Amino acid sequence: MQPGRWLERRALALLAVATSAVLAVLFYYPVAIVFADAGGVASFVDVFADEFLVREILGFTAYQAALSTLASVALGLPGAYVLSRYEFPGRRTVRSLTILPFVMPSILVVIGFVAFFGEQGLLNDLLGLAGLEVGSLLYNLPAIIVAHAFYNAPLVARVTNAAWESVDAREVETARSLGAGRFRAFVDVLAPQLLPAVLTGALLTFIFTFMSFPIVLELGGFEYATVEVWIYGLVRDLDYAEAATLAVLETGLSLALTYAYLRYEARQASASRAARPPARKRFLPDDVTTGAALERVGVGAYGLVVAVVFGGPIVSTVVESVTGPSGFTLRYYAFLVERQATGAAFQTKPGVAVWNSLAFGVGTLLVALPMGVVVAALADRARSRWGRAVEALAMAPFAVSGLMVGLGMLRGLVFGVPLPVVGRVRVGGALAIVAAHAVAAYPFVVRSVGPMLGTVDRRTVESARALGATRFRALLDVELPLVAAGVVAGAAFAFAISIGEFDSTVILATGSTSYTMPVAVERYLGNRTLGPATAMGTVLLVVTAVSFVVVDRLGGRWEYG
């Protein structure tokens, strides 16, 4: 047998082994180190006996996460609809940019929100022109929820859009020709194809907002403390036992939810179809009916909401970077240039940060994409209860507190792993950062590809296999093209996660020049004005926006073949 053929036969198994190895070293081992600090059953009983922790902390955390999830879905779904069903100039660019909020460091979001929704914010200025005055909209629960929707509605929109791009329109047409009304056809035919994606988006949002930390305190206030805030306080006092107990609870809850969802999803996946999305509508309809007109008005109103919730804070951040106490200024950008030119070796240089971010982003994409596709493909085949459990475990990287992962990486990787014979093996620098980013990013690839893979007609794969294709070849040539939209969305997420990642990066970059753009934003904050940090933030936004468009264009070339 030719070596190439041998390799191809075992490609899936080899990739699975490599994926497991990366996960074991960069995720499970570090997390196990910190979770081992959690006490026995008694410490968990203590937590549950503590009324304050259960009601005020755990209870409130779940409550705000549920509200945030509802808001994100409500804000994200219309977006998915518009992006999937309408054709307009710049549609693909807009789709590429949807994930932009996802990469914004929390302090930039705080600055953007205060500068837009605040007492003296842009929104109040604009409303003032119309004679309205609403005052500050911040420091309450709605502010937290809107900020969470700012981060997560794009996620819901993007995941749902990917599913919508691969529905089979012929089924809708069949239903219509059999006498089903538009609404009936949507509910019975289209909705079941979209629901897994919508629920995936909701699940991810819930877990994310359940573990939210800086935003809740900085746009809400300490009375809105979450579990993660409490864990931070404990870690700060080096009270690792109680911190680990809470973190284990937090992770257990997220994983249980993921598992329950995956079982549900497995029961739903049944359709057999090809990706053949319906033709898109144009903004100005050919024949004007009342329904069409009403729909356009709705889309316009939604556009206004998007402009306020997403456009407002982002534009305000950029405005902040060119505004000094006496008006327009470019000196914060001059600072970036000067730091690049004359900064000392131990100082943070913007150019280095941009370069690192891009390199890590591409590296992450190249590692996380195969990892995610392999896990999705394997999980898709194992339809048993255990298969779901393994899949839920594979999703663990976003179900563990970022603070705890960081702590584990410091103690397990930066300080070194004690091994027999060779001694302490330290993991750090650029390669470790890429691997850590890939670990954080691959669940998004799994979640973007998995639900869609479940709906691919098994017979197409079986035909390919009967004709002599290896399992790997069938995946590559038959299945993946059918779920291309999911793969491209997964790639975009992987890139975005890498650009936005902070907790692991700062720890693994210790003592090296492997810092990234969000780290640079953070370091430029040591100051009474927000100028340098917002200028660096604007650089981050521009660089990421351009990269998203490029990633999507390259992906689109393959997607639309």
Partner 1 sequence: MRRRTFLTAGSTALAGLAGCIGAGGSDGTETTTSTTSTANTTAQAELSGTLNVATYSSFVDAPSSSPGKWVKRQFEKEYPKATLQWQTPDNEVTHFLQRKAQGLDVTTDVYVGLNVDHLITIDEKLGDRKLFVPMADSLSNYGHVKDDLTFDPDGRAIPYDTGYISLVYDGTTVDDPGTFDALAGEYADDLIVENAQQAATGRAFLLWTVHEYGPDGYLDYWQRMTDNGVKVLGSWDAAYTAYSNGERPIVVSYSTDRVYAHREEGVNMDKHRIGFPNGQGYANPEGMAKFADAKNPKLADAFLDFMLSKKVQSKIPTLNVQFPATDWAEPGEEFRKYAKEPDQPVTYSYDDLKGNVEEWVEQWARQVAR
Stretch that binds partner 1, among 75-83, 409-417, 447-455, 543-551 (CB under 8 A): 409-417
Closest Cα to residue 319, out of 118, 111, 144?
111
* 406-to-71, 177, 213, 338, 412 alpha-carbon distances in Å: 29, 57, 14, 32, 10
Residue 35 interacting with partner 1 (CB under 8 A):
no
* Binding pattern for the stretch 455-484 against partner 1, x by CB under 8 A and - elsewhere: ------------------------------
3-state SS, residue 42 = helix
Structure tokens at 507: 């720890």
Structure tokens at 210: 């359940």
Structure tokens at 182: 């538009």
Q: Is 74 within 8 Å of 280 (Cβ atoms)?
A: no
Q: Which C-beta is closer to partner 1: that of 157 or that of 506?
A: 506
Q: Which C-beta is closer to partner 1: that of 74 or that of 134?
A: 134
- SS (HEC) of 156-222: HHHHHHHHHHCCEHHHHHHHHHCCCCHHHHHHHHHHHHHHHHHHHHHHHHHHHHHCCCHHHHHHHCH
Q: How many residues bind partner 1 (CB under 8 A)?
A: 64
Q: Which C-beta is closer to partner 1: that of 224 or that of 472?
A: 224
Q: Which C-beta is closer to partner 1: that of 137 or that of 480?
A: 137
Q: Which C-beta is closer to partner 1: that of 111 or that of 374?
A: 111
Stretch that binds partner 1, among 15-23, 152-160, 166-174, 210-218 (CB under 8 A): 210-218
3-state SS, residue 411 = helix
Residue 429 interacting with partner 1 (CB under 8 A):
no
Residue 410 interacting with partner 1 (CB under 8 A):
yes
**What letter represents residue 190's amino acid?**
L
- Per the listing, tokens 């420091």 go with 139
Residue 115 interacting with partner 1 (CB under 8 A):
yes
Residue 512 interacting with partner 1 (CB under 8 A):
no
CA–CA separation, 326 and 170 (whole Å):
61
The residues, any chain, with a CB within 8 Å of residue 271's CB and separated by 6 or more, are 168, 171, 192, 193, 455
**What letter represents residue 203's amino acid?**
L
One of 156, 248, 506, 541 touching partner 1 (CB under 8 A): 506
Residue 133 interacting with partner 1 (CB under 8 A):
no
**What letter represents residue 161's amino acid?**
N
Residue 531 interacting with partner 1 (CB under 8 A):
yes
Q: Provide the H-helix boundaries in 343-409.
A: 350-381, 385-394, 402-409
Stretch that binds partner 1, among 78-86, 366-374, 529-537, 549-557 (CB under 8 A): 529-537
Residue ranges in 273-332 that form contacts with partner 1 under rule CB under 8 A: 324-327, 331
Q: Is 269 within 8 Å of 200 (Cβ atoms)?
A: no
* Binding pattern for the stretch 39-68 against partner 1, x by CB under 8 A and - elsewhere: -------------x---xx-----------
Q: Which C-beta is closer to partner 1: that of 57 or that of 440?
A: 57
One of 105, 118, 443, 555 touching partner 1 (CB under 8 A): 118
Least distance CB 125 / partner 1 (angstroms): 12
Residue 266 interacting with partner 1 (CB under 8 A):
no
CA–CA separation, 159 and 99 (whole Å):
11
One of 7, 126, 334, 542 touching partner 1 (CB under 8 A): 334
CA–CA separation, 448 and 471 (whole Å):
21
3-state SS, residue 511 = coil
Stretch that binds partner 1, among 125-133, 214-222, 262-270, 445-453 (CB under 8 A): 214-222
* 507-to-33, 399, 409 alpha-carbon distances in Å: 16, 19, 7
Residue 174 interacting with partner 1 (CB under 8 A):
no
Least distance CB 53 / partner 1 (angstroms): 9
Q: Which C-beta is closer to partner 1: that of 217 or that of 438?
A: 217
CA–CA separation, 277 and 203 (whole Å):
25
Least distance CB 406 / partner 1 (angstroms): 8
Closest Cα to residue 72, out of 206, 194, 190, 258?
206
One of 4, 179, 222, 384 touching partner 1 (CB under 8 A): 222
Stretch that binds partner 1, among 111-119, 258-266, 467-475, 478-486 (CB under 8 A): 111-119
Least distance CB 240 / partner 1 (angstroms): 10
Residues forming beta bridges with residue 323, ordered by sequence position: 328
Residues forming beta bridges with residue 327, ordered by sequence position: 324
**For 327, which DSSP code?**
E
One of 59, 233, 298, 300 touching partner 1 (CB under 8 A): 233
Residues that bind partner 1 (CB under 8 A): 52, 56-57, 107, 110-111, 114-115, 118-121, 136, 138-139, 214, 217-218, 221-223, 225, 229, 232-233, 236-239, 324-327, 331, 334-335, 338-339, 342, 344, 346-348, 410-411, 415-416, 506-507, 509-511, 522-533
